[in-house]
Amino acid sequence: MYVAVKGGERAIENAHRLLADERRGDRTLPSITLEQIAGQLSLAVDRVMAEGSLFDRDLAALAVKQARGDLIEAIFLIRAYRTTLPRFGATHPIETAAMRVRRRISATFKDLPGGQLLGPTFDYTHRLLDPDLAGDPDLPAPALRPELPTAMPRVTDLLGNEGLIEADPAETGEPVGDLTREPLSFPADRDLRLQGLARGDEGYLLALAYSTQRGYGRTHPFVGEIRMGEVEVEIDVPELGFSVVIGRITVTECQMVNQFKGSAKAPPAFTRGYGLAFGHQERKAMSMALVDRSLRAGELGEDRTAPAQDEEFVLSHCDNVQSTGFVEHLKLPHYVDFQAELDLVRRMRTEVAEKREAAE
């Protein structure tokens, strides 16, 4: 007699125990601490905060640990937690010109007010595996400025003073959209596009950005500036009648300076692409800035021919929590639909065979 597969509940429970067991690994080794993850795998934690849309290093570290280092899984954990949080209000826009800058580079000027500040970067490291890091080597202390600069003009402001770059869009007073509260519809405004990109998968944005450099919607970019450091987050407290600083967050900002536009009415000026990410996320901020600029094709009167210029394509597929869910759902049982297809294919093959026989 045929015995149907039963006991799903027990099987699931045991699978989860196995998962927990493998996550813990060798019990003779100490369990990795959240402080170690947040401190020593800080870029993984930054990515989880950025794409998880929640600035909380401790929670992101916990998510990385729980996800066994699978960052998309960790991002998913953070998102699922974030969505249950009550909203108290919206902060003021952060002021990146007042950032306590830890890194700032410009590719457009050799030197500029505030200077070039390399900060902690992989750039110019020789990518040679360092066997010393297998242990815990003594490190020479880095040389630090006595005081981090707190007011450094942005390159785009310097260009803007001369009218060489398009002005930042004027403050409209309109509330900023939130695609986690209102379903996205197309065409989407730039606020929603930037939100989508900021939450978007780093790898996906990197590939799209790369495609624009190779001619699929070329925008002739220069890195006006990348800066990374801490900014203050301010919120209005209606009970007090003024705003208060509720904390400091680390962000990376990238301002791309792109090919100029001009018309009979407006003299030529460079255009902007903007990227901003939680934490130290340079690749993400740069990719975001390139894609942001590409998505402005319509607004700037350029032909929309390339994937990176297609906002519906870009925004519908940039969220890795969505895409991983749907790709991975294919492993769920589909045997009912497969049975329907099997039946049709068998029937059509029989018909073909019958026709062939009849013809012979």
**Residues at the site binding other proteins, with contacts judged by CB under 8 A:** 1-9, 11-12, 34, 54, 56, 58-59, 61-62, 76, 79-80, 82-86, 88, 180-187, 235, 237, 246, 312, 316, 321-322, 324-329, 332-337, 339-344, 347-348, 351
Closest distance of CB 327 from other proteins, Å: 8
Instruction: Indicate the residue among 72 and 276 with the shorter CB distance to other proteins.
Output: 72
Closest approach, Cβ 170 to other proteins, in A, equals 25
Q: How far is the CB of 228 from other proteins (least distance, A)?
A: 22
294 in helix, strand or coil? helix
224: helix, strand or coil? strand
Nearest residue (CB) to other proteins, 40 versus 83: 83
Q: Nearer Cβ to other proteins, position 94 or 269? A: 94
- In the complex with other proteins, the residue whose CB is nearer, 13 or 123, is 13
Tokens (6 digits) for 138:
């003594």
The interaxial angle of helices 71-82 and 320-328, nearest 10 deg, is 110
**CB of 26 vs other proteins, minimal distance in Å:** 22
Nearer to other proteins, 110 or 356 (CB): 356
As a whole number of angstroms, the distance between CA 169 and CA 176 comes to 13
For the chain, what's the residue count? 360
Instruction: For the CB of residue 165, give the shortest distance to other proteins in the complex, in Å.
Output: 31
Q: CA–CA separation, 44 vs 89, rounded Å? A: 28
- Give the Cα separation of 307 and 291 in Å (integer): 10
Cβ neighbours, 10 Å, residue 197: 27
Q: What is the layout of strands, in order, in the sheet containing 242-261?
A: 100-105, 222-237, 242-261, 269-278
As measured in angstroms, the least distance from the Cβ of 186 to other proteins is 5
In whole angstroms, the minimum distance from the beta carbon of 350 to other proteins comes to 11
Q: How far is the CB of 44 from other proteins (least distance, A)?
A: 15
In terms of DSSP bridges, do strands 242-261 and 269-278 run parallel, antiparallel, or are they unpaired? antiparallel
End-to-end Cα distance, the chain: 44
Single out the residue of 167, 145, 121, 147 nearest to residue 270, CA to CA.
167
> Do residues 225 and 155 lie in contact, with contact meaning Cβ atoms separated by under 8 Å?
yes
**In the bound complex, what is the minimum distance in angstroms from residue 82's beta carbon to other proteins?**
7
Local structure of 87: helix, strand or coil? coil
- What span, in angstroms and rounded, lies between the C-alpha atoms of 277 and 268? 30
The residue type of 229 is G
* Closer CB to other proteins, 86 or 262, in the complex: 86
**Whether the bond into 187 is cis, omega within 30 of 0:** yes
Q: Toward other proteins, which CB reaches closer, 268 or 349?
A: 349
> Which C-beta is closer to other proteins: that of 43 or that of 235?
235
Please state the closest distance from residue 16 (CB atom) to other proteins, in A: 10
Contacts by 123-131, CB closer than 8 A, 24 or more apart: none
Closest to other proteins by CB, 38 vs 256, is 38
Taking the least distance from each CB to other proteins, the nearer of 76 and 274 is 76
Q: Are 116 and 223 a contacting pair, CB within 8 Å?
A: no
How many Cβ atoms are within 10 Å of 212's Cβ, its own excluded? 23
